[in-house]
Structure 1
C-alpha cells in the first residue's frame, strides 16, 4: 500500500479498512494490516494478521517472509525488508 510506504498511517488504515469491507478473505489485505501493526510496534497483532494471510493464501509469499523476519533474533523493521506483496487495485 502506497500510504504505508509513505508512512501516512491514517490514510493507510482507512484504505485497508475499505478494502476489508470489499473482501475480508484477502490474504493481501491481512498482510498489509500486519505491516500496519508492525510499524506501530504491535508485533502480536502483526503476527496474527500475517498468519491469517498465510492461511487464506498459502501461496502468497509476502506474509511468510514478513513472519520469518518478525521472528528473527536480529529483527529489523525497515521498508528495505518488508514485503508488501502485490498492490491492491
Structure 2
C-alpha cells in the first residue's frame, strides 16, 4: 500500500512540475517529467493532455490532437482534454492561448477572458 501511495504522490509531483515547466517554457524538462509521469501511470489522461500542450507549444498540431484524443479515450470525463481537443479542432482559427487547460485550475470559467469581456458589454 505504501508503494502505491508513494507512486501516486510521485505521479502528481511530476504532473505539477511538468505543468510549471510548460508555463515557463522549459519544454525540455517538461517533456522528461511528462514521460516519467506516463511511466508511473500509463492509464492516466493527465500526461497525454500535457503532452498535447507540449506538442502544441512546439507548433505540432497533429501530434497535439493525437495526445488530446488519447487523454479523452483514457477518461472521457477529464474536462481539460475535452476542452483542449475542442479548442484545437475548431474550424475557425480563434485560438486563445489563455484558454489552454492544464488541468490544475478547478472551478475557473471555461471561456477565455477576452470572450467573457466581449459578452458583458451592453448592446446599444
TM-score where L is the length of structure 2: 0.65
Structure 2 stretches lacking a partner, 5+ long: 1-18, 106-124
Q: After TM superposition, what 4+ stretches of structure 1 lie above 6 angstroms from structure 2?
A: none
Asked which structure has the greater CA Rg, the reply is 2
Which digits, 9 at most, give the CA deviation of each residue in 1:8-67, with x for residues without a partner? 101100110111111111101100000000111111100000001001011110011101
What is the root-mean-square deviation of aligned Cα atoms in Å? 1.4
Aligned residue for 2:58? 40
**Distance in 2 of aligned mates of 1:46 and 1:59:** 19
Structure 1 stretches lacking a partner, 5+ long: none
The answer to which structure, 1 or 2, has the higher relative contact order (CA under 8 A, 6+ apart) is: 1
Does residue 15 of the first structure (1) align with residue 33 of the second (2)? yes
**Distance in 1 of aligned mates of 2:55 and 2:86:** 16
**Distance in 2 of aligned mates of 1:82 and 1:38:** 10
